[in-house]
Structure 1
Amino acid sequence: MAKSRTRAGGGTPATVVLEAANVPFTPRSYHHDPAAESYGLEAAEALGVDPARVLKTLLVMTDAGPGVGIVPVDRQLDLKAVAAALGSKKASMADPKVAERTTGYVVGGISPLGQRKALPTVLDATALGFPTVLVSGGKRGLDLELAPEDLVHLTRASVAPIAR
């Protein structure tokens, strides 16, 4: 996988984090259709990638505050499982406006990398079964392909079965 140098060409906070950490990644752009029902499934189809390798970043609210769950786009986040993984009794999906304010990204382009504030993060265990995964690059129409171990390291994520 080639290391990208997108900062000079209008990089996002996510690409800046990867470049600063000297982590190899590949930017994968596609034409985003505003009418798409699922941003993640749209990305998987447009890029010709197994949806199990394309991950969505979801902000949840727990009794301890906000947290992040990262799951394959063809699955759903198990709120009980992510709450337990975050050390809370329950979790609920954050309001989209709260998610945007908290992360600094727009819904459909929320990256687990380069968020405004480091949040407790949990990556679904299935991601470790692939040599590379794709996450949002910080805007709609841009995914970043990287090793799941690098994603865990950079987000300080725990790994648990949180998808259903």
Structure 2
Amino acid sequence: MSKTTRATQTLAKAGISFTVHSYDYDPGAERVGLQAAEALGEDPSRVLKTLMAEVDSKPVCCIVPSDREVSMKKLAAAFGGKSANMMKPAEAERLTGYHVGGISPFGQRKIVPTAIEETALGEALAFINGGQRGLQVRLAPKDAQAVLKAIAAPLIG
């Protein structure tokens, strides 16, 4: 497995301090984020999942703790929209250039508005997908927010 991806290149170019961690990705896992947390031996609240959604039919990215679910109502409100829904996997892959299970918010093919769950910013360090299945980057959530120009908002239900 290559530890250099568009995600890690984006972080390095931005001067963000991060470490790369690989784990055995389980394609049959019901919840990829929770499987990553378990494989890394980390609390699921510190392993953040990257989700692609649509608010009023426009693509957005949201980052939330892997043990929580996104509230579509809160997601729509975070972007000033009326309604939100999860993006279809094929569309998420086309838009980001990453495979489901390996979607990173960093280095996506098309830059879209991004929101990060505000409680995640309370962690000193967190894991976020590094752009490939079985690859996570560990960094300060506030650094992730800065490089992504992400808004902080309550996103979980």
Tell me which interval the TM-score lies in, with the shorter structure as reference length. Answer: over 0.9
Distance 2:140 2:11 in 1: 11
Equivalent residues of 1:64, 1:88 under 8 A apart: no
SS in 2 for 1:60: strand
Distance 2:60 2:26 in 1: 28
SS in 1 for 2:130: strand
- Candidates 21, 27, 35, aligned match of 1:34: 27
Distance 2:149 2:27 in 1: 32
Residue 94 (1) aligns with residue 106 (2): no
Q: TM-score, normalised by structure 1?
A: 0.92
In structure 2, the partner of 1:143 is 136
In structure 2, the partner of 1:19 is 12
- Candidates 153, 157, 161, aligned match of 2:150: 157
- In the alignment, residue 38 of structure 2 is paired with which amino acid? E
Residue 45 (1) aligns with residue 38 (2): yes
Judged with a 3 Å threshold, the aligned counterparts in structure 2 of structure 1 residues 127 and 61 are, in CA distance, closer, same or farther, namely same
- In the alignment, residue 127 of structure 1 is paired with which amino acid? A
Distance 1:44 1:17 in 2: 23
In structure 2, the partner of 1:59 is 52
In structure 1, the partner of 2:70 is 77
Distance 2:115 2:26 in 1: 29
1:71 to partner: Cα distance: 0.6
SS in 2 for 1:70: strand
1:64 to partner: Cα distance: 5.4
- In the alignment, residue 83 of structure 2 is paired with which amino acid? K
Q: TM-score, normalised by structure 2?
A: 0.96
SS in 2 for 1:16: helix
* Higher RCO structure (Cα 8 Å, ≥6 apart): 2
> What stretches of structure 1 move > 2 A for 4+ residues in a row?
none
1:10 to partner: Cα distance: 5.1
Structure 2: 5+ residue stretches without partners? none
Distance 2:22 2:3 in 1: 13
Deviations 1:93-125 (A, max 9, x none): 100100110111111111010001111111001
SS in 2 for 1:36: coil
SS in 2 for 1:149: helix
Deviations 1:11-37 (A, max 9, x none): 100000011111110101001122222
In structure 2, the partner of 1:121 is 114
Distance 1:53 1:31 in 2: 18
SS in 2 for 1:34: coil
1:126 to partner: Cα distance: 1.1
